[in-house]
């Protein structure tokens, strides 16, 4: 799955809140400089799954408030759904620059806007807009491309929006989720030593580190795009947090 740079001015979304630590003031690139996204999910083929264990996500904060929102609509009779691939509550990461993932249900030629906000302030930390044909599938949004680092213990919210009418932003299709950077669990480095990406995803998931688990699994799929077992692992992982499909 190809990563790309993006910018968002989500009018009518209300307070976009709280703070990341910017390395330098981000300078939004020109829309023409944004690389084209591509579909992230090739058709899988079967393989011997061997003894690889199932990846099981352990929610670190049971009973936490739900923060995920999702968007969908029908255009000329065809449904369009956008989903940020996050748990219903705040997803955790140990990375200061994690990769965020979102999913589009069908190929769509449109303007898309993106934002990352610190929930302690009104103005977004970073935003970008891209008008292009976005392929159905899973897409990556690296925080490293935003010239930002996440501060520990701060709640951030990020948005993906399909702009249906620039003059009526209330008609946007929007999905959003939250994330927080936390300290690594004790002995995590030892657990991760000499492991495959799939095994790393399982370890991260067991510790409740959603963004790290999904990133490791997606990188494993990028390395082995025809691996049906890895595809099934991702589908199962997404279903554990209430996101159906995952393909």
Residues ≥6 apart with Cβ < 8 Å to 25: 147
- Residue located via tokens 């554990």: 240
Give the pLDDT of residue 1.
Answer: 61
Give the C-alpha separation, 159 to 7, whole Å.
10
Give the C-alpha separation, 229 to 152, whole Å.
34
| pTM for this prediction | 0.77
Give the pLDDT of residue 40.
Answer: 41
Query: Pairing relation of β-strands 137-142 and 173-181?
Result: unpaired
Give the pLDDT of residue 195.
Answer: 86
Give the pLDDT of residue 49.
Answer: 42
Give the pLDDT of residue 18.
Answer: 38
**Two structure tokens written together for 53:** 């264990």
8 A C-beta contact, residue 200 and residue 122: no
The three state secondary structure string of 187-222 is CHHHHHCCCCHHHHHHHHHHCCCHHHHHHHHHHHHH
- Run means of pLDDT, 10 residues per run, the chain, 247 residues: 46 38 41 38 39 84 85 64 95 98 95 95 95 96 97 97 90 94 95 92 97 98 97 97 73
Query: Pairing relation of β-strands 173-181 and 91-93?
Result: parallel
The SS3 assignment for 145 reads: helix
Q: Largest Cα–Cα distance of the chain, in whole Å?
A: 54
Give the pLDDT of residue 77.
Answer: 58
Cα separation of the two ends of the chain: 12
Give the pLDDT of residue 135.
Answer: 96
Measured CA distances, 144 to 22, 54, 114, 152 (Å): 11, 30, 15, 16
Give the C-alpha separation, 15 to 47, whole Å.
47
Give the pLDDT of residue 170.
Answer: 86
Among residues 37, 181, 193, 202, the alpha carbon closest in space to that of 98 is found at 181
Give the C-alpha separation, 214 to 209, whole Å.
9
8 A C-beta contact, residue 226 and residue 42: yes
The SS3 assignment for 227 reads: strand
């Amino acid at each position: 799955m190809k990563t790309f740079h993006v910018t968002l001015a989500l009018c009518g979304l209300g307070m976009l809140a709280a703070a990341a630590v910017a390395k330098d003031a981000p300078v939004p690139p020109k829309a023409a400089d944004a690389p084209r996204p591509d579909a992230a999910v090739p058709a899988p083929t079967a393989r011997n799954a061997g003894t690889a264990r199932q990846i099981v996500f352990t929610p670190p904060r049971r009973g936490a408030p739900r923060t995920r929102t999702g968007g969908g609509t029908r255009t000329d009779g065809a449904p369009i759904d956008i989903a940020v691939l996050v748990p219903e509550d705040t997803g955790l990461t140990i990375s200061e620059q994690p990769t965020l993932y979102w999913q589009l249900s069908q190929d769509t030629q449109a303007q898309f806007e993106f934002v990352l906000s610190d929930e302690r302030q009104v103005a977004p930390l970073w935003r970008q807009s891209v008008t292009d044909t976005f392929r159905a599938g899973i897409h990556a949004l690296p925080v490293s491309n935003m010239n930002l680092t996440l501060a520990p213990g701060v709640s951030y919210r990020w948005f993906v929006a399909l702009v249906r009418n620039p003059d009526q932003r209330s008609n946007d299709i929007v999905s959003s989720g939250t994330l927080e950077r936390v300290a690594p669990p004790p002995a995590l480095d030892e657990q991760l030593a000499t492991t495959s990406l799939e095994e790393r995803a399982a370890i991260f998931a067991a510790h409740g580190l959603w963004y790290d688990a999904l990133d490791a699994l997606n990188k494993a799929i990028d390395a082995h795009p025809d691996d049906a077992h890895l595809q099934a692992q991702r589908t199962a992982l997404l279903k554990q947090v209430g996101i159906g499909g995952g393909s």
